[in-house]
Structure 1
Amino acid sequence: MLTILACGLFVVLISGGIDISFPAMTIIAQYGMVLLLQKIGGNFAVAFALAGGIGILLGLINALLVNRLRVPSIIITISTLNIFYGLLLWLSKGVWLYDFPPWFEQGVMLFKYTDADGYDYGLGLPLIAMITVVLLTAFIMNFTSVGRKIYALGGNRESASRIGFSVLKLQLFVYGYMGLMSGAAGVVQSWTVMTVAP
């Protein structure tokens, strides 16, 4: 889970910002994901889509505030950390969630085999998610024009703006990506502990 969050924060840091609100985004994403799964059902693709969508929305709020208010991102994200978490506590009334669908409890395992001791072994959900996120982040940052623009933005924001890069669009991507990673980490943590605490 920490590697997933680190990949999101890496992208934000390279852009010249910082996001302190990721713990609150992770908790809100996993809480919302579990509530929605209880109502609509689904599978792990739906779980990641729901949590990722919630995380992206919260990340976009951060990006807009950072861009429009022209306040250092550390101040904005410390503020949104407290606002997001306070809203979650108020809306959830502090209720813990334990009721997960059976398919969620079973999890996902690739290359599964049963050893002589009777236990199943293989690549579990946390490792699959971590490998996917690391490869995706490496690809974006090293092989796409967006990645190069993020490096340019982090190097000198004013210069990046003068040569025609949209600072707002890049910040929306960067903080949205952090939100997506928070959502993915929320799914992994929910599966690992089978509990969601606001």
Structure 2
Amino acid sequence: MENNFDDVMSKRTNQELIVIVSTDRSKYQQSAIISAEREIKKRNINKSIIDDAKITADEQKIKNAFFENLKATEQIRFLSVVIDVLVICLVVFIINYGASFLLSFFDSPLNDFADLSTSISIMVYFTYFIFMENKFQQTFGNMIAKTKVVDNNGSKPSLKAILIRNLSRPITIGRYATGFAFEGTPFLDRFSNTTIINIV
């Protein structure tokens, strides 16, 4: 087994080896750590480089922990969704009212209006979320809840990520209609590598 670990460790980068023998030491078997230390000695990695790598690894862990603490709770996300639904319903109502008024002049069948109303609702739904999250990283619900959407690095998501996020939104509705459906993480977050964080 030790020879197997030697082979595995020989393929690791300097950074990976240093992380294994320092910050992630508890995650590995003792024989794996010994192999990693042996590989470090074989490569004659400078001690200052090892120390720098340890600091970098520790800083990344701190950043990750801070980022996790920033994530919005399920209750906050629920609040923003409720507000967004109300906004969408209001917009759809106004548009449908105008459309029904115009159609009344053409004596259109009721079925035509029903089909039009459904199309309007779908269009408003997707346009609202995609435009607001791509332009502002926030919907009106997020603004009131003081949250915003970010990628997993804490940066503004790409348009592609926003599209994936919102196209998957209808099929990821879970508990509280926020998409929480798997181990406490919304599927739309998983699919798009995005999340909702509190604004500090």
TM-score range with shorter-chain normalisation? under 0.3
Highest relative contact order (Cα 8 Å, sep 6+), 1 or 2?
1
Question: By percentage of residues, which structure has more helix?
Answer: 1
TM-score under structure 2 length normalisation: 0.26
TM-score under structure 1 length normalisation: 0.26
Structure with greater Cα Rg: 2
